[in-house]
Amino acid sequence: MRIVVLALLLVVIVSCKPKETINGKWRLTKIDYTEHLKTLDTESRAAFEEILAVQAEMIDLTFFNFLEDSVLQVITPKKSGEGQIMQIEKWGASKNFDSLYFVNSEIELFLMKKVALDTLVLFSDAPPKRILTLVKSN
C-alpha cells in the first residue's frame, strides 16, 4: 500500500512540473551559416561574406527578449550606442518545446534545443540555413 501511495505522489509531482519557458532576455553569441554558404556560387558567397563581416560586429551586442504576451523584441546596437528595438508580432513554441516560431510579415520556424539552463540553440532549414546560439542574459 505504501508503494502505491508513493508511486501516486511521484506521478502528481512529475505532472505538476512547471512548463518550460524561454521568457526573458537572451544574448546572441553565435550565428553559423556554414550550410547556407555551401549552396552559394563564388560571387554570391563573396557578397554574403561581406554582410557577415558587418553582422559579426553586432553578434554579442544583439538580444532576443521573449516577453510573456508572446511578443519578441530583437534589440540590436546602433552606431549611436543605443539599442534599436525591432518588435516581432508573435512568437511561440511547440507543445514538445522542440521548435520555436516567429510571426512577422512571414512565419519563420526554428528547431530548438536547450543545451543548458542558460543556453539555447535554434536551427533553421529555411534559406538562409543557419544556427543561432543564445545565452540567457541577466
pLDDT for the residue numbered 6? 27
Of 125, 110, 119, 96, the closest CA to residue 22 belongs to: 119
Instruction: Give CA–CA dist 121/20, Å, rounded.
Output: 15
pLDDT for the residue numbered 82? 63
Domains of the chain: 23-136 (2.40.128.270)
CB 73 within 8 A of CB 87: yes
Of 30, 83, 85, 32, the closest CA to residue 59 belongs to: 30
Q: How much is the mean pLDDT over the chain?
A: 80
* 3-class SS string, 18-86: CCCCCCEEEEEEEEECHHHHHCCCHHHHHHHHHHHHHHHCCHHHCEEEECCCCCEEEEEECCCCCEEEE
Residue 124 makes CB contacts below 8 A (sequence gap 6+) with 108, 109, 110, 111, 130, 131, 132
pLDDT for the residue numbered 7? 30
Instruction: For residue 34, give the C-alpha cell.
Output: 556554414
pLDDT tens readout for residues 40-50: 999 999 999 99
pTM over 0.85: no
Which residue would you say has higher pLDDT here, 79 or 15? 79
pLDDT tens readout for residues 84-133: 888 887 888 888 888 989 888 888 999 998 778 899 999 998 888 999 99
